[in-house]
């Protein structure tokens, strides 16, 4: 990730350098931390191949460079090979972010031929039963087979491990597995507690001690493996005193297009219910990025309230995450409550205490399924 600078332009010079296409919300997995909306099934109106191609062309004209194909499960789109090919011709660096399901060897070959640059594969655990239970389908063996196929095709590969209570103690085994697979990058991704993950927060969030133990293992592997495998691991914002520099700032370098064509400053921003997200079916990408009210809403620092407004770190973390501020405090313009300077920081401390209390009453994980939860939850969370 580029380092944060100040003001609107940053490293992207005001361009949406990072373009993320959520090709579909459909997915064969039922992960309890899914970033898709709780009512994901209500967005059936996916963009057509031609509409996605237009997004690709317009994005490139505006300086988009890194391109992520994600979902849902992007392999459920049977036009993905065609879209990768188009993106490649336009000069993007193409990333596929996948569960691996549907990535059969013949499609992998087709993706290679289309010019796909790298594949990010999710891995939930080094244990078959835990994996299958977490995602609600028997996929572990298939995922490992796909991981081998990806390497056999010569793709650089990122293993993405969502860090949670259920897998944090397997850090060593997961790293060993990654080493055996010969992946170049492994990312221990902190679960972002929005949507499904927020519903399940108390059953997912690990303790500080567990995280510190895992970090020690990570450091041992980094020392031994050096350049052979990059290991991304950071302590999650819930255990920090300052918020993450979310998206390098709102509308700074990231542009996400949802399956139905809604343009979002980040993949989660749909959780902010009072924003009217512009749609690529109705507006030009140029207008959306530069002119639309949504993309200007939290751009720069004019929108900030105290304590952000007078904080000398506001150019560093941009006040943290707007979605987190909205979900936890009820106002997206508030300081991210992760910040110890926030008057509502106790919301985070309470959340951590709740999740890490060994005597808490455990609840079953709510897996991502149609109708499993109503989105009314979002309205009352603040």
Partner 1 sequence: MNETAAISGNDVVEINPMYFFRWEEPQQAYVLLYPEGVVKVNETAAAILKMCDGKRNTGQIVSELNDLYTTDVSESVYKFLEVSHAKGWIRRKS
> Per CB under 8 A, does 15 bind partner 1?
yes
SS3 361: coil
Q: Which is nearer to partner 1, 58 or 313 (CB)?
A: 58
For partner 1, which residue of 50, 106, 223, 227 counts as binding (CB under 8 A)? 227
Half-sphere CA count of 333, side-chain side, radius 13 A: 15
Length, in residues, of the chain: 382
> Per CB under 8 A, does 375 bind partner 1?
no
Size of the site for partner 1 (CB under 8 A): 24
Q: Give the footprint of partner 1 on residues 167-186 (CB under 8 A).
A: 184-185
Q: Give the footprint of partner 1 on residues 321-340 (CB under 8 A).
A: none
> Per CB under 8 A, does 98 bind partner 1?
no
For partner 1, which residue of 6, 9, 45, 93 counts as binding (CB under 8 A)? 93
> Per CB under 8 A, does 292 bind partner 1?
no
Tokens found for residue 373: 């939860």
Site string for partner 1, 231-270 (x = CB under 8 A): ----------------------------------------
Class of residue 96 by CB neighbours under 10 A (exposed 0-12, middle 13-18, buried 19+): buried
Q: Where are the alpha helices (DSSP H) in the chain?
A: 49-61, 80-90, 105-114, 128-135, 140-152, 171-181, 195-199, 201-204, 208-225, 285-290, 293-297, 314-317, 322-329, 346-356, 376-381
For partner 1, which residue of 49, 142, 230, 279 counts as binding (CB under 8 A)? 230
Tokens found for residue 189: 């991704």
SS3 167: coil
Site string for partner 1, 183-212 (x = CB under 8 A): -xx---------------------------
Q: How far is CA 158 from CA 141, 203, 235, 351, in A?
A: 18, 26, 19, 30
> Per CB under 8 A, does 66 bind partner 1?
yes
Class of residue 78 by CB neighbours under 10 A (exposed 0-12, middle 13-18, buried 19+): exposed
CA–CA gap between residue 362 and residue 355 (Å, rounded): 9
* β-strand pairing of 254-257 with 263-264: antiparallel
For partner 1, which residue of 31, 38, 56, 62 counts as binding (CB under 8 A)? 62
For partner 1, which residue of 8, 28, 57, 65 counts as binding (CB under 8 A)? 65
> Per CB under 8 A, does 20 bind partner 1?
no
> Per CB under 8 A, does 118 bind partner 1?
yes
Q: Which stretch binds partner 1 (CB under 8 A): 116-124, 215-223, 233-241, 334-342?
A: 116-124
Query: Is the omega angle on the peptide bond into residue 307 within 30 degrees of 0, that is, cis?
Result: yes
Residues that bind partner 1 (CB under 8 A): 1-2, 11, 13, 15, 17, 62-63, 65-66, 68, 93, 95, 117-118, 120, 156-158, 184-185, 226-227, 230
């Amino acid at each position: 990730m580029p380092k944060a600078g100040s003001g609107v332009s940053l490293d992207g010079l005001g361009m949406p350098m990072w373009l993320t296409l959520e090709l579909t919300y459909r997915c064969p997995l039922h992960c309890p931390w899914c970033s898709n909306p709780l009512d994901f099934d209500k967005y059936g109106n996916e963009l057509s191949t031609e509409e996605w191609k237009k997004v690709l062309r317009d994005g490139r004209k505006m300086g988009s460079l890194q391109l992520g194909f994600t979902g849902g499960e992007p392999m459920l789109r049977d036009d993905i090979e065609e879209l990768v090919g188009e993106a490649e011709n336009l000069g993007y660096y193409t990333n596929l972010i996948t569960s691996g399901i549907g990535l059969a060897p013949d499609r992998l070959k087709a993706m290679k031929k289309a010019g796909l640059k790298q594949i990010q594969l999710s891995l939930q655990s080094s244990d078959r039963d835990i994996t299958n239970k977490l995602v609600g389908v028997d996929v572990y063996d298939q995922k490992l087979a796909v991981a081998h196929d990806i390497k056999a095709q010569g793709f650089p590969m990122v293993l993405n491990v969502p860090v949670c209570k259920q897998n944090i103690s397997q850090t060593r085994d997961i790293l060993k597995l990654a080493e055996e697979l010969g992946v170049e990058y492994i990312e221990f991704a902190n679960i972002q507690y929005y949507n499904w993950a927020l519903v399940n927060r108390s059953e997912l969030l690990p303790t500080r001690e567990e995280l510190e133990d895992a970090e020690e293992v990570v450091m041992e592997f980094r020392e031994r493996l050096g350049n052979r495998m990059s290991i991304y691991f950071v302590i999650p914002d819930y255990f920090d005193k300052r918020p993450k520099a979310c998206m390098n700032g709102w509308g700074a370098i990231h542009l996400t297009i949802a399956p139905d064509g809604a343009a979002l400053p980040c993949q989660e921003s749909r959780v902010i219910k009072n924003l009217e997200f512009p749609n690529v079916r109705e507006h030009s990408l140029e207008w959306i990025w530069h002119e639309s009210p949504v993309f200007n809403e939290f751009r720069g620092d004019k929108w900030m309230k105290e304590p952000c407004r007078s904080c000398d770190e506001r150019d560093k973390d941009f006040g943290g995450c707007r979605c987190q501020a909205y979900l936890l405090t009820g106002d997206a313009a508030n300081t991210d409550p992760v910040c110890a300077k926030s008057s509502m920081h106790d919301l985070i401390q309470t959340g951590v205490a709740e999740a890490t209390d060994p005597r808490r009453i455990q609840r079953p994980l709510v897996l991502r399924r149609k109708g499993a939860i109503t989105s009314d939850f979002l309205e009352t969370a603040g």
